Each structure stands twice: as structure tokens, then as C-alpha cells.
Amino acid sequence: IVGIGECSPMHPKLVAETIASALKPIIIGRDLFDMERMSEDVFIKTYKFRGRLVFMAFSGIEIAIWDAIGKALKLPVYKLLGGEYRKNIKVYASFMRRDQPPKEVAERAEYFVSQGFKAIKIKIGKRWGFDDLPDNAIETVKEVRKAIGYGIDLMVDCNSAYSAPRAIQIGRKLEEYNIFHFEEPVPEHDIESLRKVSEALDVPVAAGEQNCGRYEFKELIVKDAVDIVQPDVTKAGGFLECKKIATLADSFGKVCTPHNTQPTIGTVATLHFIASTPNCRYPMEYNIEPHPLKDTLLKEPVVPKDGYITVPDGYGLGVELNEEVIEKYGVEVK
């Protein structure tokens, strides 16, 4: 039985080397069903250098293990993670590009609404809290709202663009356009600034795409720095860790909206997570930008229809890789 998974693709050579040199000795020969013990061993035995790289590397392995377990038991992964809470999952069209003219962003948003999406997320700002102003954030949101109307949910993602005072100022102006959530308005490491922004605004503040493991998310949640937590299944530690993060968020009355920019295996894994996790109540992220393997890596690509995706029902993740694509692009890591 072969399980498939995906790691967050940031610095793939480093991730591959982490798998080969650090994680392989911990995992090879283990009983795959002993997931709690295996996860703990990874956390403990890498403690001198453990960080985001280890979490990203283990995430892909962990997803592949659940895929293998599902195949062995002849069950879809979501059945193993708590069963079906929802089957048809609403998705939002997530824009990855920034610094485009406002009218161009509005035209793209209007196009994806015409394709059936009921929710859109756009990028604003310059990243990393430098207040690189003036920018076209307000004008962009204004033009997009004009193009898509107020019947479509509109999320705004800053990717850590502003200082707290500037984020509050911009967030208050954006509230006039009824935005659905205000994502990562300040640098992700500055939890106190994030808390200040959340406290000052009425619009829900979302963050967590950079965070790994439940202990980092504990800081966001306990300090009331966010309203919406955004673990990434391919980055934060895999299914089991993200289920714990979602449960922690739920116990504090917060919604879990996973981050997801990977349109193939990452999307499928996120679907299984959301299908089985009650407090994933808002639309799921779906990357609409061009991707070299989007239409070819999976034998049957998973694509939205009328703004929804149905979680695959096959064993494990329920998808198969196109072996010709793997043969063409694959690199074996010893």
C-alpha cells in the first residue's frame, strides 16, 4: 500500500533533506496506526532544531500515512478523522497576486463570480509591517465591491503588511465595504499587535498560515489575538495536529478556516479535514492562479463546481497520481 501526501512547497530541497535525514530514522518501521506516539516522537526527537521546517516535512508524511491507513481499512480519510460533518464544501476563489491595478483585480473577481464562486479573497499591502504607503488597498476593495456587489463574501489578505495603528486605520475603512475577514494584517510573529487590531475592529481578524503546531496556535487563541484560526494541513503538522488546533479554537468560540494554496493533494487533504471538523464553518480557500501540475498531477483533478467541491469518497484521500507526471518530474530523495 502506498500513501501519498504533500508538504508545503516552501524551500522543497530543505524539506526533502529534513525528511531524509531527520524524520526517516524516526518513522521507518513504525506501526502506522500509532499516530499519537509517532507524532510525539517527531516533536521530542527534533527538539534541538525543531521548527517550521520540521512541521512542514512531517505534514506531508502524516497525510500520506492517513492515506495508507484509509486504503488498508477501505475507508476515506474523513471517516477516520471523525466522520462526515459536511460533504459539499463551499470554497472561495483565492487570489495570490498583489500590486495589480484595482480595476484589473475587480475584473478578475467579477470573472470568477461568473464561474460560480460565491466568495473571493484578494491581496492588499506590501508585507512585513513596513507601512509601505501609499498603496491601493482601499481603492482595490472599493472597485471589487462595485464589480461583484454585496451578495458575495469578500475576504482581504494583507500578508503581514502593516503596523498595528495603520492596520486599524485601514481595517476601519474596509469595514465600510462589508469585508468577510481581515487576514494577517500585521507581521505574524507580533501577537500583541495582532491582538490590538482584533480588539479595535468589528470585522473578524484571521491568521495562522505561518504557524505550526498547537502550541503556537495556543498563543494566538488564548491571547485572543484572532477570531479565525488558519492552520495549513500541509504545514502545521498534518491532520492530527490540525484537528487538535481546531478543537482548541472551538473551545474558545473561534472558527477554523484552513489556509490552503496547493490545488492538488493539499486541496484534497484540506477537503477531508474540513469534511470532518465541525467548526470549519466558513468557505475553504481555493487557489485560482495557474499551477504547472493543477490539471495533470491527479488522474481526476478536483475542481470547484458552482462554488463548491465534494470531498472524494474513495479509500484514503480518494485520489490517484498520474504516474506519467511523477515519472517526468519526480526526484527520488535517498
Find the mean pLDDT for residues 196-208: 98
Residue 128, pLDDT above cutoff 90 = no
Are 198 and 224 in contact by the 8 Å Cβ rule? The answer is yes
Are 184 and 156 in contact by the 8 Å Cβ rule? The answer is no
Query: What pLDDT was estimated at residue 332?
Result: 83
Active-site annotation holder among 189, 259, 272, 291: 259
What's the predicted TM-score (pTM) here? 0.96
Query: What pLDDT was estimated at residue 285?
Result: 98
Find the mean pLDDT for residues 273-287: 98
Query: What pLDDT was estimated at residue 323?
Result: 94
Per-residue pLDDT tens over the stretch 241-259:
999 999 999 999 999 999 9
- HEC secondary structure over the chain: CCCCCCCCCCCHHHHHHHHHHHHHHHHCCCCCCCHHHHHHHHHHHCCCCCCHHHHHHHHHHHHHHHHHHHHHHCCEHHHHCCCCCCCEEEEEEECCCCCCCHHHHHHHHHHHHHCCCCEEEEECCCCCCCCCCCCCHHHHHHHHHHHHCCCCEEEEECCCCCCHHHHHHHHHHHHCCCCCEEECCCCCCCHHHHHHHHHHCCCCEEECCCCCHHHHHHHHHHCCCCCEECCCCCCCCCHHHHHHHHHHHHHCCCEECCCCCCCCHHHHHHHHHHHCCCCCCCCEEEECCCCCCCCCCECCCCCCECCEEECCCCCECCCCECHHHHHHHCCCCC
> pLDDT higher for 9 or 65?
65
Residue 279, CA distances (Å) to 59, 68, 207, 221 in order:
21, 26, 16, 14
Find the mean pLDDT for residues 35-46: 96
Half-sphere CA count of 119, side-chain side, radius 13 A: 22
Per-residue pLDDT tens over the stretch 133-190:
788 999 999 999 999 999 999 999 999 999 999 999 999 999 999 999 999 999 999 9
Identify whether 11 is a catalytic site residue.
Answer: no
Query: What pLDDT was estimated at residue 10?
Result: 87
Find the mean pLDDT for residues 97-122: 96
Query: What pLDDT was estimated at residue 129?
Result: 81
Are 94 and 291 in contact by the 8 Å Cβ rule? The answer is no
**How remote is the C-alpha of 43 from its chain's centroid?**
21
Per-residue pLDDT tens over the stretch 55-87:
999 999 999 999 999 999 999 999 999 999 999
Are 266 and 260 in contact by the 8 Å Cβ rule? The answer is yes
Find the mean pLDDT for residues 258-276: 98
